[in-house]
Amino acid sequence: MSARGDVPPKPLGVELDEGGIYLEYRDNRRVFYNGVPEVVTGTLRCQPGKDVQVLVTDETETEGVMTYVNERKTNDDILESSGVGRVFLESGQEAELFDGVRAEVDGLAVEVSVDMDVVDGRVFVFEEDELGEAMYELRAEE
């Protein structure tokens, strides 16, 4: 069995489109996340048991980094070749995924918060399982 541990993210190509978000992984795959993200201010609490992915773009919105939170299916070597990162957190633990972006686990739910005074780009959260997917954009509380 291959290892499944924390993996640091690497820069990915990002293209924001009116119909969704294109990501170009380091292994030359291009994936389209379909839909317009729902805007969330403050902390996003994802549904328990969902796969959670956090994407932070740079200020030009053409490059970004993505990290999976508690994703257990993908082998480390696949993530490393794609450029996607991964962190594992136990309930009650939190971690800074990127400067200004934090994830915390409460039971089986992942909570993601952002400090837009620190983040230069945009922050997106993808939440999915075999029944469906949702996309959010985190913004500062007004």
Domains in the chain, number:
1
Residue 134 lies in a domain: yes
Tell me what pLDDT residue 5 has: 81
Residue 130: partners with Cβ closer than 8 Å, 6 or more residues away: none
Residue 117 lies in a domain: yes
Q: Which domain holds residue 40?
A: 12-139
pLDDT digits (tens, 9 = 90+) for 29-41: 999 999 999 999 9
Please report, in tens digits, the pLDDT of each residue of the chain (142 residues total): 456 789 999 999 999 999 999 999 999 999 999 999 999 998 999 999 899 999 999 999 999 999 999 998 899 999 999 999 999 999 999 999 999 999 999 999 999 999 999 999 999 999 998 888 999 999 987 6
* Residue recorded with tokens 């609490």: 45
Note whether 44 and 111 are within 8 A (CB). yes
CATH code of 76's domain: 2.60.40
Residue 82 lies in a domain: yes
